[in-house]
Chain A
Amino acid sequence: MIAALVQKDVKLFFRNQFFALITAMGLVFYLLIYFLLPADVEETLPFAVFVEDMPADVALAEVPLGDGLAVSTFDSEESLIQALQNGDYMAGLVLSAETMAAIGQGEAATLNVYYAPGTPSEMRGAVDSMLGSALNAHMLPPDAAAAGIDRVTEVVGLNVDGPLSMRDRILPTLVLMILAIEVMGLATLIVEEIEHGTAQALLITPLGTGQFFASKAVMGMGLAFVQVFLIMLLSGGLLVAPLLVTLALLLGCLLITGFSFIIAAIARDMMSVIAWGMMGLIILVLPSLAIVFPTMGSGWMDYIPSHYLIDTLHRAINAGATLGDVTANLLTLLVIGAGTLVLGSMVLRRRFA
């Protein structure tokens, strides 16, 4: 009997085209996400080095800076910093001729070490120690006393004062989670209006379709904005850069309203809104992983629209970024947000038609 019921349920499940589609798409989608994420374990640390006036007879690859460092050389200090800012390397060392000479003579020397934004403090400490030991061992004559090495470390890109607490790292993610949930809320509201026929009743009054959409956009943006604004206000994030954060939040709300419209256009009921919404939520949240867990970032995550919101908020509240620092982010967010809203309105209008 149970087998018969199970058989019946399987049949009914796959006769429902939506669930059949979402099951198949889900499998493909989640596998895609899985395979897009880096598969290799990073056993070596990508490390950038610039040596000023490097003697022609010294091959840097021979310098045993330490096991686990994958060393690349650069032509200038500027290009090294740029590579770190791009996220290609986690740490970089600049060795001036003066420094090399001092170490070689066993004298006190100062090392300039740069770190990419988000490098954990533990990692920085480990690299600093490793560099000191390696340079002493390589450059000093055998049995010579170790040179005193002072390290000047600098984090390039974001000007983060000291290590970030988990709550500071996770704040932009929380904002994004709220917005993503709001995507589902607004999409459900619209789908219910369509399914229950109330939209039909509204549109038979002098209310136009454009006004109907506008009301939903205002509602979606308003509701989302109030929530994220409160979160930022109560957490103190808003106080760091009120204008910048508010602007970023507004643009984020614009983006999610567009997504809501798209989901409302393709979803048939609340369940399908949740199914589509979860897919969207996973995608939107991915860029925030790079901030919460700095070593987890991947370059392709920058192509996800929410990256521009997350990155802006992170820079504004955790690194004291100014409007000039994040203008490109905000403009990109504005263009993508407006584009998504226009696209969403178009596909939703087709459903109404």
Chain B
Amino acid sequence: MAQPAISAQDLTYRYGDLVAVDHVSFDVAEGEVLGFLGPNGAGKSTSVKILTGQLRPAEGKALLLGQDITRRTNAVQAHIGVSFETTNLYEQMTAVENLNLFARLFGIHDFKAGPLLEKVGLGGRDKERVANYSKGMKQRLMLARALVNNPRILFLDEPTDGLDPVSSQTVHAIIREAADKGTTVFLTTHDMVEADKLSNRVAFINRGQIVALDTPARLKREYGKRAILVEVEMADGDTEVREITLDNGDTPQMLHDLFQSERIVTVHSEEATLEDIFVEITGRGLHG
């Protein structure tokens, strides 16, 4: 089996008496997008800080690209990109100046900011001071900064939080493109739709522990209800919703009869959302 890009092994971190990350273990393969989901205070940010070398775990270790991040921090950091949840750009500098600075820190001498800024949709305003940018533009510039060193692992913390749909689409496209090129993406988000759409697998973290880790499809199958809801129009013009269970032997016949005899308005699967699954597993919401 190929070496995982990220391997968290029994990671534990405490803030005083509070165990923020409690013996967390998981692997992320090269080129995989892992959605890391959990409510505020669940331990997401602390986990990311450990994985990116900002915090030293109390127990356990994190291997990135086969190297211990605690021991080989700078060597590993040369191959990762991080986009933070809160904007932390040099606002009195231009986008180009921001990117050039980080390129120099990564030791990239022939860096050209233009193509990267074009990619994130900031091509026309690259000479403007970042202080004049909208939140969406700053968020996209943060993403561009995270890509400066062409990272092998990309950590994205709420990359589309508060963005308009167009900006979100741009960010999603960039994440997908990076993953297609083999970049491992560690995506921390509250947005279940985003996680569902972009992630190969999702991990649910609650009170510092991983409570579920699988592909969105398998989680939905495991925790969702195998049924479809059919909305039919009655003779008096009212509508009625009928549930048809999928695993019965006569399901095909039932559906056939329904479509023959009734006027169908809508058909929906009763697939669980990731948020439903999280609530079912943890007993609490993702926004709590």
Which residues of A from 191 to 239 have beta carbons under 8 Å from B?
196-198, 200-208
Q: Are A206 and B105 in contact (CB under 8 A)?
A: yes
Asked if B86 is at the interface of the complex by the 8 Å CB criterion, the answer is yes
List chain B residues, Cβ under 8 A from A196.
88, 91
Asked if B82 is at the interface of the complex by the 8 Å CB criterion, the answer is yes
Q: How many A-B residue pairs have CB under 8 A?
A: 42
Give the interface SS of chain A, mostly helix, strand, loop or mixed: loop
List chain B residues, Cβ under 8 A from A207.
74, 105
Q: Are B107 and A206 in contact (CB under 8 A)?
A: yes
Asked if B90 is at the interface of the complex by the 8 Å CB criterion, the answer is yes
Given contacts A197-B84, A208-B74, contact A202 B105 (CB under 8 A): yes
Q: Are B84 and A200 in contact (CB under 8 A)?
A: yes
Which residues of B from 128 to 154 have beta carbons under 8 Å from A?
145, 149
Separation of A208 and B73 alpha carbons in the complex (Å): 9
Given contacts A204-B54, A204-B77, A205-B105, contact A198 B89 (CB under 8 A): yes
Number of residues from B at the complex interface, CB < 8 A: 22
Separation of A197 and B105 alpha carbons in the complex (Å): 17
Given contacts A197-B84, A198-B88, A198-B89, contact A204 B53 (CB under 8 A): yes
0/1 string, A297-320, CB within 8 A of B gives 1 = 000000000000000000000000
Asked if B78 is at the interface of the complex by the 8 Å CB criterion, the answer is yes
Q: A201 is contacted by which of B84, B91, B106 (Cβ under 8 Å)?
A: B84
Asked if B183 is at the interface of the complex by the 8 Å CB criterion, the answer is no
List chain A residues, Cβ under 8 A from B77.
204-206
Q: Are B106 and A200 in contact (CB under 8 A)?
A: no
Asked if B111 is at the interface of the complex by the 8 Å CB criterion, the answer is no
Separation of A66 and B86 alpha carbons in the complex (Å): 76
Chain A residue with Cβ nearest B90: A198
Asked if B12 is at the interface of the complex by the 8 Å CB criterion, the answer is no
Q: How far is the CB of B264 from chain A (nearest CB, A)?
A: 54
Separation of A205 and B77 alpha carbons in the complex (Å): 5
Separation of A198 and B92 alpha carbons in the complex (Å): 12
List chain A residues, Cβ under 8 A from B102.
201, 205
0/1 string, A1-33, CB within 8 A of B gives 1 = 000000000000000000000000000000000
Separation of A204 and B77 alpha carbons in the complex (Å): 6
Given contacts A197-B86, A198-B89, A198-B90, contact A205 B54 (CB under 8 A): no
Which residues of A from 174 to 206 have beta carbons under 8 Å from B?
196-198, 200-206
Which residues of B from 74 to 96 have beta carbons under 8 Å from A?
74-75, 77-78, 80, 82, 84, 86-91
Given contacts A206-B105, A207-B105, contact A200 B54 (CB under 8 A): yes
Among A197, A198, A202, A206, find the residue whose CB has the most chain B CB atoms closer than 10 A: A206
Given contacts A197-B84, A197-B88, A198-B88, contact A204 B74 (CB under 8 A): no
Q: How far is the CB of A93 from chain B (nearest CB, A)?
A: 65
List chain A residues, Cβ under 8 A from B78.
205-206
Given contacts A200-B54, A201-B145, contact A206 B86 (CB under 8 A): no
Q: How far is the CB of A253 from chain B (nearest CB, A)?
A: 25
Q: How far is the CB of A200 from chain B (nearest CB, A)?
A: 6
Asked if B100 is at the interface of the complex by the 8 Å CB criterion, the answer is no
Among A197, A198, A205, A206, find the residue whose CB has the most chain B CB atoms closer than 10 A: A205
Q: How far is the CB of A292 from chain B (nearest CB, A)?
A: 38
Chain B residue with Cβ nearest A352: B54
Q: Are A206 and B88 in contact (CB under 8 A)?
A: no
Q: How far is the CB of B10 from chain A (nearest CB, A)?
A: 23
Separation of A205 and B88 alpha carbons in the complex (Å): 14
List chain A residues, Cβ under 8 A from B145.
201
Q: Are B54 and A203 in contact (CB under 8 A)?
A: yes
Separation of A198 and B84 alpha carbons in the complex (Å): 10
Which residues of A from 18 to 54 have beta carbons under 8 Å from B?
none
Separation of A200 and B88 alpha carbons in the complex (Å): 8
Separation of A200 and B77 alpha carbons in the complex (Å): 13
List chain A residues, Cβ under 8 A from B87.
197
Q: How far is the CB of A269 from chain B (nearest CB, A)?
A: 16
Separation of A196 and B80 alpha carbons in the complex (Å): 21
List chain A residues, Cβ under 8 A from B91.
196
List chain B residues, Cβ under 8 A from A208.
74
Query: What are 28 A-B interface contacts by the 8 Å CB criterion?
Result: A196-B88, A196-B91, A197-B84, A197-B87, A198-B88, A198-B89, A198-B90, A200-B54, A200-B88, A201-B82, A201-B88, A201-B102, A202-B105, A203-B54, A204-B52, A204-B53, A204-B54, A204-B82, A205-B78, A205-B105, A205-B106, A205-B149, A206-B74, A206-B75, A206-B77, A206-B78, A206-B105, A207-B74
**Chain A interface residues toward B at CB < 8 A:** 196-198, 200-208
A sample of 9 more A-B contacts (CB under 8 A), given A204-B52, A204-B53, is: A198-B88, A200-B54, A200-B88, A201-B84, A201-B88, A201-B102, A204-B54, A205-B102, A206-B75
| Interchain residue pairs A-B with the least CB separation, the first 9 | A197-B88, A205-B105, A206-B74, A206-B78, A201-B88, A204-B82, A198-B88, A207-B105, A206-B77
